[in-house]
Structure 1
């Protein structure tokens, strides 16, 4: 039995656009995801997502809500518990992106859906989190006690 991977991801919206990261995952084409990553030892989900957003996009954000806990069973038997957040962008920082990230992009929902049709979203959770955020399905950050 493998360990459960605890991760955090963030839907960041500015007008009609969402901040997405493009990364190379070993396939022929790059894939797209929200800023996301593993929660490290000694870190809670809120601290983790603020760190991941900054490392992967060079944006400082203000968290606005908690989308909930998404449980995802990946091919190969891995299970992910992914904490979903919403945020608004504050400042673009002068930082280098994480080496695993090709680029950060502001994309429309239509562009993200087109990437989904091309099977270029990192997981089904990418579009699900955006749709949940757009539907207003959000909880106060206070439901997380770090």
Structure 2
């Protein structure tokens, strides 16, 4: 089997009605995404979500639950991503943590502010994840089983 989806995680972090996003450069364009990235070898989904959030935003977070699971095939390269989206709360800002090289900045946006920037979204999953969360799609971490 030659085709394999890429396993990714994303974290929706809420604080006082604002949500943590990243502005990053992809294919020469500035886009907005949740802190997100690929699962690495010997890493759990939770560990990946915490690591990616810290590397991309300088925020250490507590993962509270799951928003959902999604599939997305990127039109630019035809790659299919299987994404587990988590929700979390911020625990500590860690300014000593360097941002990943393709991250321009971490930003806090309200739902309305994100919708105003819809044209900048890295994929439709960014807004869909937030809308699912706001409509009550919040599931326990016990949905995940297996250690890795």
Q: Give yes or no for the alignment of 1:59 onto 2:59.
A: yes
Secondary structure of 2:117's match? helix
Structure 2 Cα separation of the partners of residues 87 and 34 of structure 1: 12
Q: Give yes or no for the alignment of 1:96 onto 2:98.
A: yes
Please list every run of at least 4 consecutive aligned residues from structure 1 whose deviation after the TM superposition is greater than 2 angstroms: none
Q: Aligned residues, how many?
A: 143
Corresponding residue number in structure 2 for 1:46: 46
Structure 2 Cα separation of the partners of residues 80 and 36 of structure 1: 12
Q: Give yes or no for the alignment of 1:25 onto 2:26.
A: yes
TM-score, normalised relative to structure 1: 0.93
Give ranges in structure 1 of 5+ residues lacking alignment: none
Structure 1 Cα separation of the partners of residues 22 and 54 of structure 2: 12
Aligned residues: CA RMSD: 1.1
Contact 1:33 1:126 in 2 (8 A): yes
